[in-house]
Amino acid sequence: MNTDTAILQEELLQFLREDQVSTNETILTNHSKDESYHEGSLPDLVVFPESAEEISKIIKVADASGTPVIPFGLGSSLEGHIIAYDKGITIDFSSMNKVTEVRYKDFLVKVQPGVTRSQLNKALKKHGLFFSVDPGADATLGGMAATNASGTTSVKYGVMKDQVQDLEVVLPSGEIIHTGSLARKSSSGYDLTSLYVGSEGTLGCITELTLRVYGIPEHVMAARASFPTIDHAVEAVISMLQAGVPVARVELLDEASIRRVNQFNGTDYIEKATLFLEFHGNEAGLQEDVAFMEEIVKNHECEVIHFEKDNAARMKLWEARHNLAYAYIHGSPGKKMMVTDVCVPISELAGAIRHGREKIAELDLESGILGHVGDGNYHALLMIDMENEEELKKAEKFNEEIVEYALARGGTCTGEHGVGKGKMKYQKREHGKALPVMEAVKAAIDPKGIMNPGKLVHSERGNSQ
Ligand SMILES: Cc1cc2nc3c(=O)[nH]c(=O)nc-3n(C[C@H](O)[C@H](O)[C@H](O)COP(=O)(O)OP(=O)(O)OC[C@H]3O[C@@H](n4cnc5c(N)ncnc54)[C@H](O)[C@@H]3O)c2cc1C
């Protein structure tokens, strides 16, 4: 341990217990990288605070010495978001993992940032409620808010920013603020809640979230629809959305992805381009919605529709979808995963996926296409041998090409994973003159650039790297 780290540790131990401050090599390593191909870097220290007040004190210590602070939820982000490129203090929120209040009459819940989405849903079930956003990883709600995550149900219920009503935030100065209120709507002041959702730990630490929740639907129906080609499947989704079919989930998996699902989960799903679908509602309404969907998919040459009738089969279907990235990781030992994340207007989706598939065919890499197609968001999963520089270059070039395609059609480089380090290079192209406005916001709130430096936007410290 160097002298600066020893001094920091001593200062932190003035108000934290010894088990809340770690320089243990394994713990540093576990906090040094995310689940993607980005290379890791160790922080100096990892701290495990238990309250906003402790976080405020930690940030004041960091501020005094200009030490970077990296908020860390589960570390499941995919663009180097939590990597300590410039060392510093990583704040792990796993000890702040309580559901503090269920306001069932208001359809609101208050949680600490380290609560995971499945933990929250377990706590809500006895109230007949559920939280809708479900990224593939069992991420923390703090991390999900900080990346504006979404998932399979966003086509019906919206993304993370639609669910966050209020945040408690510790600013880079150590001040503790609230960004919203318990009121369903408000026209009062700048919308700081929206500013902090998607801020990726660059503007402060989220220490409590007030989130919207929903009643568990009376009836749920899930189905798998197989198509002769991926084009047919995508066109069917576009027709469904344009016809206003109230689908709650619609996920696309190409043939390669279905193969991975079968290998990883032991299922025997038909190995063709497939839509996983789900509908929520009352029995009569559901029957109408499903009949409408059937008519549309048949018009697009759907070959087989298999309805998952019982709860267990339905759970298995969505578990298989959520495990898909892990199916690729486990199926390609020794390789790292690059996931693209473009999102385009629905009318451009078929063209975007067709363009992506043509480019992928030129790569000769283990890969697949999947997506939250109801939102216009698709991912190419590329498995890369990091020892092979040419593979990495090919994958990066592909990523650049599809981002360029999406931006030229009014889309975005990232629909849900966020910018982190990996997508900073596209920010100028995507935001133009709005980017300096974002940099000015960062400089105003975090003048020393201590919060998660080198991510999302350039700051004083980030520029110097
Ligand atoms: C298998 C797999 C599937 C995935 N599927 C999806 C998907 O379907 N949809 C999707 O949106 N994403 C998906 N992701 C990406 C990832 O799960 C999300 O980005 C998730 O929201 C990150 O949450 P986390 O708790 O892991 O946060 P971390 O990775 O720990 O952190 C993410 C960012 O948030 C910041 N942060 C964390 N906690 C706080 C806090 N309390 N205050 C301030 N900043 C904070 C961090 O500094 C970092 O910048 C997937 C990842 C994997 C590995």
Pocket mutation for ligand 1, best pick of 33, 76, 152, 203 (most atoms within 8 Å of C-beta): 76
The Cα 75–Cα 256 span in angstroms is: 27
For residue 160, the CA-to-ligand 1 centroid distance in Å is: 11
Of 50, 58, 147, 162, best ligand 1 pocket probe by most atoms within 8 Å of the beta carbon:
147
What is the CA(239)–ligand 1 centre distance, in A?
32
User: Tokens 């510790």 label which residue?
Assistant: 170
Q: How far apart are CA 247 and CA 237, in angstroms?
A: 10
What are the start-end ranges of the H helices in 116-214?
A: 117-125, 141-147, 154-157, 160-163, 192-196
Instruction: Give residue 73 CA to ligand 1 midpoint distance, Å.
Output: 7
What is the spatial distance between Cα 455 and Cα 86, in angstroms, rounded to a whole number?
Answer: 11
pLDDT at 309: 78
Query: What confidence category does residue 4 fall into, taking pLDDT thresholds of 50, 70 and 90?
Result: confident
Pocket lining: 448 vs ligand 1, CB cutoff 6 Å? no
Phi, psi (rounded to 5 degrees) for 181: -155, -175
Please say if the pLDDT value at position 458 is more than 90: no
Q: How confident is the model at residue 1 (pLDDT cuts 50, 70, 90)?
A: confident
145, 237, 321, 349, 354 from 234: Cα distances, Å: 29, 5, 17, 8, 10
User: Tens digit of pLDDT for each residue in 236-273?
Assistant: 999 999 999 999 999 999 999 999 999 999 999 999 99
Query: In degrees to the nearest 10, what's the CA dihedral of 38, 377, 375, 211?
Result: 0
Q: Are 48 and 95 in contact (CB under 8 A)?
A: yes
| Token code pair at residue 40 | 């890791």
- Give how far Cα 280 sits from Cα of 160, 215, 344, Å: 20, 11, 26
The pLDDT of residue 104: 95
The answer to whether 409 and 346 have CB atoms below 8 angstroms apart is no
Q: For residue 422, give the H/E element and its range.
A: none
pLDDT per residue as tens digits for the range 354-373? 999 999 988 888 999 999 99
Write down the pTM of the prediction: 0.95
Torsion of CA 424, 429, 430, 433, to 10 degrees: 100
Is any atom of ligand 1 closer than 6 Å to the C-beta of 112? Answer: no
Residues in contact with 151: Cβ distance below 8 Å, sequence separation at least 6, in sequence order: 132, 133, 134, 135, 136, 372, 416
pLDDT in tens, 338-357: 999 999 999 899 899 999 99
Answer yes or no: are the C-beta atoms of 275 and 298 closer than 8 Å: no
Dump pLDDT digits (tens) for 121-161.
999 999 999 999 999 999 999 999 999 999 999 999 999 99
**Model confidence band, residue 461 (pLDDT cutoffs 50, 70, 90):** low
Predicted pLDDT at 464: 41
Rounded distance between C-alpha atoms, residue 320 and residue 311, angstroms = 14
Nearest CA to 221 among 268, 283, 150, 132? 283
- Alpha-carbon distance of 238 to 241, in angstroms, equals 5
- What pLDDT was estimated at residue 9? 96
- Cα separation, 246 vs 277, in Å, equals 11
- 388-427 pLDDT, tens digit each: 999 999 999 999 999 999 999 999 999 999 999 999 999 9
Rounded Cα–Cα distance for residues 356 and 253 (Å): 14
Centroid of ligand 1 to alpha carbon of 362 (angstroms)? 31
Per DSSP, 97 falls in state -
Task: Tell me if 459 CB under 6 Å of ligand 1.
Answer: no
Dist. CA 74 → ligand 1 center (Å): 7
Q: How far apart are CA 193 and CA 204, in angstroms?
A: 12
Taking the centre of ligand 1 as the mean of its atom positions, its distance from the CA of residue 70, in whole angstroms, is: 13
Mean pLDDT of the chain: 95
Strand, helix or coil for residue 385? coil
State if residue 143 touches ligand 1 by the CB under 6 angstroms criterion. Answer: yes
Q: Say yes or no: CB of residue 149 within 6 Å of ligand 1.
A: yes
Q: What is the pLDDT of residue 32?
A: 97
24-46 residues labelled b (16+ CB within 10 A) or e (exposed): eeebbebbbbbbbbbebebbbbb
